[in-house]
Amino acid sequence: MSEAIAGIGVFRTARAGVPQWSRRILAPVVILCALLAIWSIAATLVNPSPAAAAAGIWPSNWWNPRPTLPSPPQIAVATWTGLFGYPVTSPRSLIYHAAVTLEAALAGFGLAAVLGTALATAIVHVRLLDRGLLPWVIVSQSIPVLATAPMVVVAMGYMGFSGLLPKAVISASLAFFPVTIGMCKGLRSPQTVQLDLLRTYNASGRQVFWALRWPSAIPYLLPALKIAMALAITGAIVGELPTGAQAGLGARLLIASYNGLMLLMWATLIVASLTAGLAVGALALLERALPRFRLPA
């Protein structure tokens, strides 16, 4: 009987929150393999390789030294070499560059988390900021903040700061907004009933904050932090573009771009994605580890 309604049943059970883990793992893997297969076929068609054509073996198009569309195995090898082919301190090692970028991103992320939370606290408590500043914080989400990156680098360079700090400031300026807005929502999430109860207890503003507002805001904080982390990493990478920086994933991308090194671009991009995935994944794990701070579904 369950077979007969499988088509609907899968959908319904998935919505009901009963994970069918095998399907949940299998589906993305199958799709990913299909995408890679299409990609591989495209790579064999797109990359002209006279030698391979002469030999009559099509997969050798996969190993064109200057490919238009590198094949998945070629990218995999390039990424592997970039990650593990050189000592970690070598400027050719992508681990080294990822570490440089991640350092700046984490610094900016920390800055954004602290400043964003502080500003949200101020906005929630000061009516002038709530009505005068918050609209601008919301509007600023539609502004391309990242466009200011080159300017931040130059202005801070003028003040004598270079390297990590300008990149961290760029990261923070991006990551700051989701934290502020998320925390504003979170600190306002307690209901009137709850606030009234604390008032009957004659609780001070500080007590209301620590006993009610802050704990209720945590479920809003972690999703905001995940967005902030992804933005911080993008910010750090873009912050490395205009600096003439020698190290970092952004600098690596720019060098690959100037020299037309397709494989290096792909490898750098993959490492950047892995870095971002790991950093955000760590926050997601933290969120899962704190179940009492999760939003009720």
> Of 146 and 211, which CB lies nearer to other proteins in the complex structure?
146
Please report where in the chains the tokens 């709850």 appear, as a residue.
Answer: 194
Could you give the angle at which helices 94-125 and 164-187 cross, rounded to 10 degrees? Answer: 40
Please state the closest distance from residue 266 (CB atom) to other proteins, in A: 7
d(CA 139, CA 133): 10
Please state the closest distance from residue 211 (CB atom) to other proteins, in A: 23
- Which residues of the shown chain bind other proteins in the complex (CB under 8 A)? 7, 10-11, 14-15, 23-24, 27-32, 68, 127-128, 130-136, 138-139, 141-148, 150-151, 154-155, 158-159, 181, 184-185, 230, 233-234, 237-238, 241-242, 249-250, 253-254, 256-257, 260, 262, 265-266, 268-269, 272-273, 276-277, 280
d(CA 109, CA 195): 31
Question: Which residues are CB-contacts of 5 (< 8 A; sequence separation ≥ 6)?
Answer: none
> Of 96 and 266, which CB lies nearer to other proteins in the complex structure?
266
Please state the closest distance from residue 202 (CB atom) to other proteins, in A: 24
> Of 11 and 210, which CB lies nearer to other proteins in the complex structure?
11
> Of 131 and 294, which CB lies nearer to other proteins in the complex structure?
131
Which amino acid appears at position 7 of this protein?
Answer: G
> Of 107 and 152, which CB lies nearer to other proteins in the complex structure?
152
Work out whether the CA dihedral 25, 26, 31, 33 comes out positive or negative.
positive
Instruction: Tell how far CA 111 is from the center of its chain.
Output: 16
- Is 106:229 a contact under the CB 8 Å cutoff? no
> Of 54 and 158, which CB lies nearer to other proteins in the complex structure?
158
d(CA 101, CA 238): 10
> Of 72 and 185, which CB lies nearer to other proteins in the complex structure?
185
Radius of gyration of the chain (CA): 25
List, in sequence order, the alpha helices (H) in 240-261: 249-259
> Of 18 and 159, which CB lies nearer to other proteins in the complex structure?
159
Please state the closest distance from residue 212 (CB atom) to other proteins, in A: 18
d(CA 116, CA 111): 8
Please state the closest distance from residue 58 (CB atom) to other proteins, in A: 22
Q: What are phi and psi of 168, to 5 degrees?
A: -65, -40
Please state the closest distance from residue 262 (CB atom) to other proteins, in A: 6
First and final C-alpha spacing in the chain = 30
Please state the closest distance from residue 68 (CB atom) to other proteins, in A: 7
Closest CA to 110 of 225, 6, 279: 225
Please state the closest distance from residue 124 (CB atom) to other proteins, in A: 11
- Is 178:228 a contact under the CB 8 Å cutoff? yes
